[in-house]
Structure 1
Amino acid sequence: MRGGALAILLSMLISSLGVPARADPLDLHPSICLDGAAGMVEQLARSAYSIRGCATPPRTDGWVWLHLSDPSVLKDLPAGWALLLDENRFDRITVAATNSDGSIQNYSYADGGVGHDWAPGGLLRFAFDSPGVEISSLSIGFHHLDGAIFIRKIEARTPDEEAARSMAWLILTGVLIGALVSAMVYNMATYNGRRDRFQIWYAVWTVLTLGYCLSWTNFLGLFDDRLTGPLAVRLSDCFLGATVAAGTMLLMTLIEFQARHKYLLWTGYVLTVLSTLSGFAAAADTLLPPVWTDHVLNAVLMLDVLWIAATSAFAIRRRSRIIWFFLLAWMPVISVFMLRLARNMGFLPQSDAIDMATFACIAFEAIALSVTVAYRLRDIGRARDRAARAMAVMQTEAETLRRAAMTDHLTQLDNRAAFQAALDQADPLTTLLLIDVDHLKSVNDSYGQEQGDNLLRHMAMRLSQIVPDGTALARLGGDEFGILVSRPVEQVLLERLDALQGEPWSQSGRALSLWFSVGQAECNGSPVSAMHRADRALYWAKQRGGGRRQSYTAEFDHADNLAARLLADAPHALAAGEFTLYYQPLVDLKTGRQRGNEALLRWNHPELGLLAPPDFQILLMDETIGPRLQDEVISIALGALSDVGDGLAYIAVNFTGVHLRGAAAGRHILNRLQEAGVPPHRLCVEVTEGIALDHASDEIAEALHVLHTAGIRTAFDDFGTGYASLVHLLRFPVDIIKIDRSFVRQLTTPARNAHEIVRSVISLGKALHKQVVAEGIETEAQAAILRELGCDYGQGYLFARPGPLLQPPIYWPIRDESHEALDDAPRS
């Protein structure tokens, strides 16, 4: 039998050597009708194969017949054409063709033996001597067929086409066998005194894979014809289940110990048993329903694919190196196996291309896995470690130079301005993450400001350790950090951030846990909108108790509705006088006398209560409502100045870039002063350094010059926390420099360079003939240090909290305390 099969195969290959361009094979599905037991046609109706019923009563004799209803479709086939069928499981098969002269050519096999009528690629082949034009009828009968849904291929090919197809399968199978044998030999040759378990499982997997490939493709028929037909189907099911089980064990033993997950390991053992059992169950068609066992086998295979994905994701999260080589080997095979599953379950039509791609990918997988097993973490691991260390050194040096210009003084990360520059240049596919450290205020209140600063430093260090290379990381101020991460490494970073939640850390003998909230948004749209979306997601995460990550989704539509409501309510609120100003005194630190007030805008909303500017920031930035609201603020401030008289030097009013666009905006403010009869020197226009980063910064500078020339004072708020502050002092007319509260807060903490920073700002202000105001003064100790450093003015809770009424000038008595008393002063 083996000699006959070889002779047939050789003759086909020789005849194919001169094959010209071939036509597509003739698919007979549309011309076939099915005559079988009840339920057979319904099975086909749920698949992708268009075989209709023959409109005959259901059969009860166990036979399933396929009849060619339109023999004319065969008219172009020459003599010797071949009918190709998928291998199935049956007791008997009969194939008969009736010629126009009444002669019949038929094939009939019993007990599963198909003789030499098998073909490479897992098919049965029946050749007919008469040309297709002489065929008047064609019938194919199966006795006890395992299921109608397994009738996937019914096609006719010319002799040349079939010979070429067989040659392609022979070449592919030869390459596959060579790859499997050479890969296993190479693996077994890598021997270091003992066999690791993953090497043994690789050898088992190779042998089983070879058995599966030979049984499925029918090449076991070269050794014995009885190993084809229904027996080949049963053998391939057994080999497939065992091969998947061996591959599962190979992955579990191949990845590094620290990259394994306990529950995933136990799941892998269960899947190993299920894969083996489901393969043998699918082969036991005489004992179990073949349709259902086939579905179970396919379901187990899909579960195994999901398990590989979960195991790989966890290994990647644990920084496994070997997993990448494993995925490189498995991904092509998994991809084509998913196509095969779709084909087997009737969602895709039968195709040699899918099957040939499967075995080509298995050949690639065998070689790639052999290399992976042979090298493990030995040479590749050492080389990757050396490269990683060298890259880390170079990146550290480059990062050090880059950070010299824009660095947060507390954490040594980029500051807000540097992050803003990166955000302006970010790709739309980049993801923005805003991170807020939870419970920082509680840490400050319970353990002191020093411990809170240590928490921020520790958070900065851990973030620096887990962000991928090339990722922008910055401290944006207070307890907030920002990250810009590219899409390819986004998932890796998110997994690392999730793993960081609750991580223990200790400082000064106190054990605490690291908890933080994360807001996530895509960088599509403008940088302002991206920050807004991420900030809203962060707000939602904190509202839910913190310690979680939240993406910006459609769930935040209600916030958009609120913003729309505020925009809609604003005109009525302006008309009804719902906006008011709260005032906080500014005190001369040398004399204790009040010199002015900062006006802080509030909205007494009739339903939402008292709102601060952050609650209705959208109004301030709106091109229509913003200027009207600014006019209202000016009106209230000028009215207050008129009521109080000359007792107070000035009121400082906060302006945004929207309200200072060009010289016309400056002249508008001057006209308002003239109408109210208030001298220009009694108004101070207060802006943050952020206006320098505004796209209309030139127009803003023009407006400030108009105001400054007329005698209106200009103050820079939060000086030193932004970008290129000295450049701002050259571009903008500045009369007052306000030291940010973050520097003032650290004046009473030991081992801090805040003293030198504040001293430098004060010295700079005096050298440039600017007044210096310190914000956020909360203790006598801070006020005393600022006086000692030469600061002119101060404001903060120490003197007064913001209130709705503009009080008459206050006097704050100066306390004469020693330096030691200052050191012991309470800290805020």
Structure 2
Amino acid sequence: MKHTRFRSLLLILILPLFAALVIYIGLFSVLELATERSDKIAAERQKNLAETLVSKMQAAVAHDQESATVWDDAVRNVSDGNAEWMKANLGKWMFTYFQHDRAYVIAPNGRAIYVFAADEADSTKAYQQVSDIVSPLVNRLRARLATGDDAGISDQVLSIGESDLLKVNNHPAIVSVKPIISDTGNIEQKPSEIYLHVAVRYLDGSFLARMSSEYQFDGLNFAWTKSAEDKRSFAAARNADGREFGYFSWHPFEPGEAVAKSVRPALAAVGLSVFVALAGMGAVVAARNRKLRQSRAELEHLARHDTLTGLANRARFSEHLATAISGSAATQSNAVLFMDLDRFKQVNDTMGHPVGDRLLVLVADRLRRIFPDSVVGRLGGDEFTAVITDVTSDQVSRSCEQVIESMRRPFEIAGTPISIGASIGVVIGVGPDVDPSDLTRKADIALYNAKAAGRNRFAIFGPHMDELVQERRALESDLRLAVLNRRDLEVHFQPVYAAPNGALYGAEALLRWKHPLRGLISPEVFIPIAEECGVITQLGDLVLEEACLAAQRWPDLEIAINASPLELNNEAYSLRVIAALNKHGIDPARLEIEITEGTLLDSAGECQRNIEALRSTGVRVALDDFGTGFSFFGRLQYVAVDRIKIDKSFVGGFDSQDADNRAIVEAMIRLARAKGLKTTAEGVETEEQRAILKELGCDHLQGYLMSKPMTKDAFDRMVGTNVIDLQAKR
């Protein structure tokens, strides 16, 4: 009986209890080990994240400064001591927009000419609090400027600087010093005369709150020394020389402990529930581990992708390109495309960075649809790239044409259509032995050639392109020198005649560049270079000045000048023209400004505002090369001009057997007359062309049949003493 009882007890109680205890102890041990390891990994990740955030904030403060310190306006206004401007752009605005707590502008003599401190109303006291702290950074930066040190400058970093973690007014702070320099290079600055901008961003207060909220740091604070408080994690903040500057501390995220707390009650239950709890524990632990892996994957994605568009960044692009090449067959062709958006800077400057950012996102979406099976990247700014593997040159050409066509279609942002374009440089490499860096260099050269050829097109790299790039760069340098010295540039004048009686009506001012070694260089070559390198405004001012002088010399003639879309997009253009006319005492009605149809694509409306301002004073506006652009008849319904100039391609067509050219020109003249506009035909080279244009009712003629462009002295000799007679004829 006792034996039976014992067996029953053994079978019913002892063995199940022993088995349950063994399972429980085993599971409990595993659970505690997993808890400790998971919590340790999570704590280490939080520590790395905290250190990374501080490092990124240092870079962000310096980057924020460059939005206002690398700027011609900043150089001029700081040099002039314009306190209101500095407040609006270098001080209070930095606080409002970037949360910089303090800002100082330091003159070359070391004196602070502007002080902003959100936590100190007394500017003198605010500068005294940091002068000794900031001096070493200022001295180091000035020494680097003096030696021409440009270490660290890249496509994203526009100027050198010095930064460190320092104690400011008992606050831990990032202190960054940046030079205030020209963004165009047009302002000459000696290193000893450069003003410096100092930005201070506290690492406590709003920074801690944002860090805690966005990255879920529980109980986050900053202390100058480590506390002995148990169960807090610490991340050291180190200054430039590697010393520990202070410590961020927080209650660590403990995913393992959270799991253990939920599982322990189940383990204390009866044996069968242990098995159930084990399954539950495994599921919960797996879920927690999945969350950690997901967080890690997100961090890795951020490190390899552009945060704005989600496309591959430079590092991911380079990695993929190397992998694609190394895995290629011996005869496999791979293409690298470098794409640059045309007119993006104009959109960004005139409509604001939020619109520019939204435009980049929409561009990225279109590129993804065009290259669904390829890696598309954004290298920075408005530069995109794509790697197409195992492709033929014809396929690449079709893809490029597809991109150009896609970018030409307007983008609609907040109800406003925005028109841009794209230039593409392509290089094709064969086999696994090509150098990836050599491919990217050649793609960049091809892009340069595509942009030089007129934009909105693509170019595939050829061996001649290296020489073309060097030649174009030499031309750009020579043009800058010619503009700077006002040398080798001369304005010629081509007469314009009345069609009915052949009387001299006026002249068009045309800029000529006679290079000392290359001879006469076509405007079709040097005008795009001038627009790209930023000297088109100086060239326009030169022509405007010569046109005003010509108007004084020939008081009975109308004078016409050409205006670049970039000039008309400058809000000060109309003021410059009116000031020049007033300076020389010229009646505005005697000046005519010729614009191209491309100018009318200005979605921000700046060009149209300049045109309206000029016409309101009496200046006349002509639409040049009419008929060669887009929807040219429909455009006359929406743009206010005084004259259309019929392109020479239509006039030259009179000599062919095709009657369409005559019909088109006749339609243009009738349309202009119906709108109350004058007409001028360009490129008249034969008597037959002149007769047809006179018969069709064209108002004025211009071309080699009557006269080529000539110097002002030659024009003087042509006019001679016939000014009064010319006046009588008119």
TM-score by length of 2: 0.38
TM-score by length of 1: 0.33
Larger Rg: 1
